[in-house]
Amino acid sequence: MPVLLRELAELDPATYERIDRQNPRRVIRAVEVIRLSGKPLSQQRARWSAERGIRSAELAFGLTRLTEELHRRIDQRVEKMFRDGLVAETEALLKLGLAENKTAMQALGYRQVVEYLRGARSLADTVELVKTRTRQFAKRQMTWFRKQMQLNWIDLRTEKTAEVVAIIEDLVAKTGFSPV
């Protein structure tokens, strides 16, 4: 990784300063994009924003729900994943080498189902564990968004879908942004 960090620092000092240098995936991806395109990632990002006329603080939206409602929806979604065949899907993927793919094994659900298939816990306990891990992940996402991004937050407790669309359309109209 030190070699990639040196390469990134040489080829794109702006990205080097901004990127999480402790995150190998981000460093590898940044160097990969630079190698494939021949252009610094920071230059490409600036161009993308300019081309689209995006003022991110004005056009970024976050949707919030009551924690209880979010948890209920997560629980329903996890139960549906298992009803729709997550265990069978995981078994099929194991035959194709899932266990050796470190990235895939980090996906919510797969690792827990593999552990179930290996006898580490019951199916019911596995379903509950996937629900818990998904709720934890949702909480980390919300924390990240609140700390890292300037978002226009829309509270879904009080807004209906049509009202949410109207709020977004109003904010977009205020920016003068014209979707491509």
Q: How confident is the model at residue 88 (pLDDT cuts 50, 70, 90)?
A: very high
Residue with tokens 């549906």: 80
What DSSP element (H or E) covers 40?
none
Q: What is the pLDDT of residues 120-153, one digit of tens each?
A: 999 999 999 999 999 999 999 999 888 877 787 8
What are the percentages of helix, strand and coil residues in the chain, rounded to 5?
70, 5, 25
E-strand spans in the chain? Answer: 61-64, 152-155
Task: State mean pLDDT over 36-43.
Answer: 82
Q: How distant, in Å, are the alpha carbons of 65, 146, 157, 160 from that of 69?
A: 6, 19, 9, 15
Lowest mean pLDDT among 1-15, 84-98, 117-131, 153-167: 153-167
Number of residues written out for the chain = 180
E-strand spans in 8-158? Answer: 61-64, 152-155
